[in-house]
Amino acid sequence: MSERKILRGCVALAEGAIAAGCRFYFGYPITPQNDIPEYLSARLPQVEGVFIQAESEIASINMLLGAAAAGARAMTSSSGPGISLMQEGLSYMAGSELPGLVVNITRIGPGLGGIAASQGDYRQATRGGGHGDYHLIVLAPNSVQEMYDLTIKAFYLADKYRNPAMILSDAILGQMKEPLSLDPPPLVLPEKPWALTGARGRKAQLIKSLYLADGEMEQHNWHLHEKYRRLEREEVLVETDLEEKMEVLLVAFGSCSRMVHSAVELARSRGIRVGFLRPVTVYPFPRQALREVSREVGKVLVVEMNTGQMWDDVRLSLYPGCRAGLLARPGGGIPAPGQILAEIENLVKAGDGIDESVYQA
């Protein structure tokens, strides 16, 4: 019987990390993710873990790199500007094939921006963010339950693929409270024969991202590429709620998908046949699922709290001939279910086809 509690999203995420066996946290304060380090600073010592407030985000990510190289399950968390500072370290981790979790409770950008909810870091998160040819494994929860579950999942994926993983979330999910079941899976920590644990009794090992010999770097990049292709084949997570003969398919991720869920219910109560697709992993993106679903649908509407970053991925994935419009609220605006419903009704009335229009809510 699992324990049912009502928790803040950031706290659920921290409990997920503990449940996944994470015993090292390094971080530097920034709003709106401070609930995570505040909670873990008290929680980690209870499980003989280590909490370090680093001197900067650059230090945090490099401490994470070091802990990962030593074979530990470890994490850091930050928000917008702090995540930008970590990009060099993330690139090094991906290049060195080191697992670890980075949490981005996003804020509004660019620059110092603001602390309200935004999805403006989608592109940075899903494209890699730092220099070089790599991806992070990126999971985008949309409930407090998923803040817990997907954090556990992220640690396992990171270890399985020896690649840094990211939880992409925001202030809505970080601050809101919902009931959740704390149901930790049995803890299985994988063997890490590559880890730097001291060379007594075995040959010395090296973890690096520098390859200078002829062709070595190209070979390394192909090796990483094959890993990302495997992720795309085997690890895509997507939630769908479809109907027969859908008039409109809505696509949204993260907190924004909650408003879209409400709008879908409203539209259905008015007799409109609406479908809903939510990427749970935003990298790897559910290209195949979207392509198949969009084959049967004339119109697609992407709803995002940015100016259309996931829209790009949706348009790359649609069945040929199918087109997607965008309903956007960047800069801290939240698309209300009523606004989304109004746009759905406009699309239904508009007759056949849809151009790639941007609707400012």
Partner 1 sequence: MYYDVIFSGFGGQGVLLIGDILAQAAMLENRHVTWMPSYGVEIRGGAASCTVVISSQKIGSPITEEPCGLLAMSKPALLKFQHKVKKGGLLVVNTSFVEPEMITREDVIKICLPASEISYRETGDYKMANAVLLGAFVSLSRVVTLQGMEEALGVFFKEEKQKLLPLMIKALQYGSEFVCAGMNGDG
Which residues bind to partner 1, rule: CB under 8 A? 4, 6, 32, 115-116, 171-172, 175-179, 258-265, 334, 336-338
Q: Report the nearest approach of partner 1 to the CB of residue 252 (Å).
A: 11
Q: Smaller CB distance to partner 1: residue 179 or 353?
A: 179
Q: Report the nearest approach of partner 1 to the CB of residue 240 (Å).
A: 15
Q: Smaller CB distance to partner 1: residue 261 or 299?
A: 261
Q: Report the nearest approach of partner 1 to the CB of residue 359 (Å).
A: 18
Q: Smaller CB distance to partner 1: residue 4 or 223?
A: 4
Q: Smaller CB distance to partner 1: residue 32 or 141?
A: 32
Q: Report the nearest approach of partner 1 to the CB of residue 49 (Å).
A: 24
Closest CA to 69 of 101, 44, 93, 103: 93
Q: Smaller CB distance to partner 1: residue 115 or 224?
A: 115
Cα–Cα distance, 63 to 82 (Å, whole number): 15
CA atoms within 13 A on the CB side of 175: 10
Cβ atoms of 61 and 98 closer than 8 Å: no
Q: Smaller CB distance to partner 1: residue 177 or 225?
A: 177
Q: Smaller CB distance to partner 1: residue 120 or 130?
A: 120
Q: Report the nearest approach of partner 1 to the CB of residue 165 (Å).
A: 26
Cα–Cα distance, 60 to 154 (Å, whole number): 19
Q: Smaller CB distance to partner 1: residue 182 or 217?
A: 182
Q: What is the 3-state secondary structure (H, E, C) of the chain?
A: CCEEEEEEHHHHHHHHHHHCCCCEEEECCCCCCCHHHHHHHHHHHHCCCEEEECCCHHHHHHHHHHHHHCCCCEEEEECHHHHHHCHHHHHHHHHCCCCEEEEEEECECCCCCECCCCCCCHHHHHHCCCCCCCCCEEECCCCHHHHHHHHHHHHHHHHHHCCEEEEEEEHHHHHCEEEEEECCCCCCCCCCCCCCCCCCCCCCCCCCCCCCCCCHHHHHHHHHHHHHHHHHHHCCCEEEECCCCCCEEEECCCCHHHHHHHHHHHHHHCCCCEEEEEECEEECCCHHHHHHHHCCCCEEEEEECCCCHHHHHHHHHCCCCCEEEEEECCCCCCCCHHHHHHHHHHHHHCCCCCCCCEEEC
Q: Report the nearest approach of partner 1 to the CB of residue 39 (Å).
A: 16
Q: Report the nearest approach of partner 1 to the CB of residue 255 (Å).
A: 8
Q: Smaller CB distance to partner 1: residue 135 or 329?
A: 329
Q: Report the nearest approach of partner 1 to the CB of residue 100 (Å).
A: 28
Q: Report the nearest approach of partner 1 to the CB of residue 176 (Å).
A: 5
